[in-house]
Structure 1
Amino acid sequence: MKFNHIAAQQLLALSFATFAFSATAMDKVTLKLAHNLDTSHIVHQTWVQMAKDLSAESGGKMKLRIYPGGQMGGPRETLELLQNGALDMTKAMANELEAFTPAYSVYSLPYLFKNDAHFNAVVHGPVGDAMTEATKEKGFFPVAAYVGGTRSFYAKKPIHSPADMKGMKFRVIVTPTTIRFIELLGASPVSIPLGEVYTALQQGVIDGAENNEPSYVQTRHEEVAKYYTENQHTAMPDYLVIANKTWDRLSDEQKAVLEKVLKKSEATQAKAWDLMVAESVKEAEKDGATFITVDKEPFRQALQPLYDDFKKDPVRGPWITKIESAGEGIAQ
């Protein structure tokens, strides 16, 4: 199934009514947004819709020009372009912002959130606002946050608990955190480019990998790793980041219009993502994949040493405390 077609349909179905903004006195502005996603990606489709909304809300005075597919480089390069004033906006995952603001490193910690409600309370609440403020000194800051899904393990054999992972080799995005994370679960981390994972699974170079459900299907990994374990170890947002210089040159009216369409884009993308996940599960099951519901507690217990190390860290520890506080009163 063509996922760009699915994404387009979902975003069209979820589109809210747009009301023209009275902008007779507003100056014209064109904002440039560059990212490294394929045009079939749900976040790119969200921004295509946002460009239409921005034009409609501003009476045609505000335009959004999108450069997808890494035309201006990867996240590191485009973030530097923001700092230099050569680009207005870009996309960055939390772990890509970590190099500029260490606070974002907490998102790579497994089982940081109780559930989706806790995730949203952090990302779209006071903790997320505080992270935004901490980022501004780097010359840019997030203006919207999008659902990136939860990452889980999938493999050539069923995994019901950490005991089943002992001795297995898993492809991961290798960082100090993920190396320790995988090793604590009794497995070995392997660094392989995403485009080579299918063949590595097929040939037995690795036993499994980890990602969200749409990526599991889009990469066709369900063909060679039939068991998807819904352990949901990490949840990391995708951010839309704007340059300070761009934000500062916008008028109050322009900022109000941009904030309105950004808020709409967050809600639209979140709903479209949920539909995409459901569709991905159906597609994978048609291809013979099995989805395994597990007790997450044994995974959390195995990873407690990693969590303890993070809490002792003078930079990350206070952020984890804030995130825990944001989850108080939210049911597991």
Structure 2
Amino acid sequence: MRSMKRRTFLSLMGAAAVSGSLMLTGCGRSADSDDRKIIRIGHVQSATHPDHLGLEAFAAHINEKLGDKYRVEVYPSELLGSQTEMVQLTQTGAIDFVVASTAIMETFSRQYQIFNLPYLFSSVDAYHAAMEDHEVTDPIFLTTSKAGLETVAWLDAGTRNFYTVKTPINQPSDLKGLKIRVQQSPTNVEMMRLLGGTATPMGFGDVYTALQAGILDGAENNELALTDNGHGDICKYYSYDMHQMVPDLLVANYEFLQGLSAEERAIFDEGFQIVKDTERAAWEDAVAAAKDKAENEQHVNFLYPDTAPFQEAMAPLHGEVLAANPELQPVYDKIQEYNAEYTA
């Protein structure tokens, strides 16, 4: 059903581009009675996910403060297409915002590679403190304006860990020969190579079917993937190797942002903070609920391996990325300051 809705929506978008007569167009104007611009936000998560709750709070804020000019609509569960498709639609202005992964943004700017580095942060506190520092984020978030995109907020996505159908992962060698879905970025592919596994990049919406069909032996993500996306129905081992702490990103169409007045932009900036605050407040409870359901209803086994061998195996990636992108060194050094302040 979701795939059918998505195909129907994208078909309508194509028709609108040709005729200019349907409601959904790049300018986002309603075709019926009202002249307000419709601001469309797409994401891949469910309507109960913390990302969606944050976006709904953002929508309520903008609709209240600027409801005479704008109407915000939030589309969960890939209703506007896959994440890659939605980023492309945001580039063109067909939609206005998308929640995107750092892996996809890495394809537009190599600077995003730094956030995909395994074991970049020493603790959750270091991660949160660094991501709130504009000296860390601005040199990355503002690099895609020429591509028509700008990251306006980061959302907590917890820690990424390996989960598998049949093979418990207690050490890197357990990954040898396993086909593991990773996000579509060169950094994540190289991460799997260093661990001895076989990286299988694919869109998030295709993972469940691939696990079910045996195309994949496992994947890597936070705990909510087990329950919100049903992966725990198939994968029975979840291993806390904690290889990444990477944010989700709220990415805007750059031209839309530039078209806002100073007063409007101030209200939108308030909204971006509301997204972050609402999402983060919901995150901890969502993870606890997901873990409880996965353990007691889906019968997922949670494993707690020594992370040191994983860190050792993936350590070369830091040097490789910094050597290829020397302009990232100041950002990396700033993150190390937070790691020293907020140790694990």
TM-score (norm 1): 0.80
Structure 1 residue 153: deviation in Å?
0.9
Q: State whether residues 58 and 275 of structure 2, in contact with CA within 8 Å, keep that contact through their aligned partners in structure 1.
A: yes
1:216 to 1:254, Cα distance in 2 relative to 1, 3 A: same
Q: Which moved more, 1:73-82 or 1:217-226?
A: 73-82
Deviation (angstroms), 1:68: 4.4
Deviation at 1:86, TM superposition (A): 4.2
Q: Partners of 2:120 and 2:265 in 1: how far apart?
A: 33
Task: Determine if the alignment matches structure 1 residue 144 to structure 2 residue 156.
Answer: no
- The separation in 2 between residues aligned to 1:219 and 1:77, in whole angstroms, is 19
1:1-332 pair list within 5 angstroms: 30-40=37-47, 41-58=49-66, 62-70=70-78, 72-125=80-133, 126-155=135-164, 156-173=166-183, 175-191=185-201, 193-201=206-214, 206-286=216-296, 287-315=298-326, 317-318=328-329, 319-332=331-344
Between the aligned partners of 1:309 and 1:172, the Cα distance in structure 2 is 19
Measured after TM superposition, the shift of residue 152 of structure 1 is: 0.5
Paired residues of 1:39 and 1:45 also in contact (CA < 8 A): no
Q: Which moved more, 1:39-48 or 1:221-230?
A: 39-48
SS in 1 for 2:235: coil
Q: Which residue of 2 aligns with 1:19?
A: none
- Any stretches of 5+ residues in structure 1 without a counterpart? 1-27
TM-score under structure 2 normalisation? 0.77
Q: Which position in structure 2 is the counterpart of 1:3?
A: none
The number of aligned residues is 302
Whole-angstrom distance in 2 between the partners of 1:39 and 1:165: 29
Q: Secondary structure at the match of 2:144?
A: helix
Between the aligned residues of both structures, percent identity stands at 29
**Structure 2: gaps spanning 5 or more residues:** 1-34
The CA distance in 2 between the partners of 1:173 and 1:151, in whole Å, is: 11
What residue identity is the alignment partner of 1:163? S
C-alpha distance in 2, partners of 1:274/1:288? 21
Deviations 1:134-165 (A, max 9, x none): 23343331111111222101122332222333
Go from structure 1 to structure 2 and tell me whether the alpha carbon gap of 1:80 and 1:289 turns closer, same or farther (over 3 Å shift). Answer: closer
Secondary structure (helix, strand or coil) at the match of 2:71 reads: strand
**Aligned letter for 2:306?**
D
Q: Equivalent residue for 1:13? A: none
Q: Matched residues in 2 for 1:284 and 1:81: separation?
A: 34
Distance verdict in 2 for CA 1:239–1:178, change over 3 Å: closer
Q: 2:208 touches 2:230 (CA, 8 Å); kept in 1?
A: no
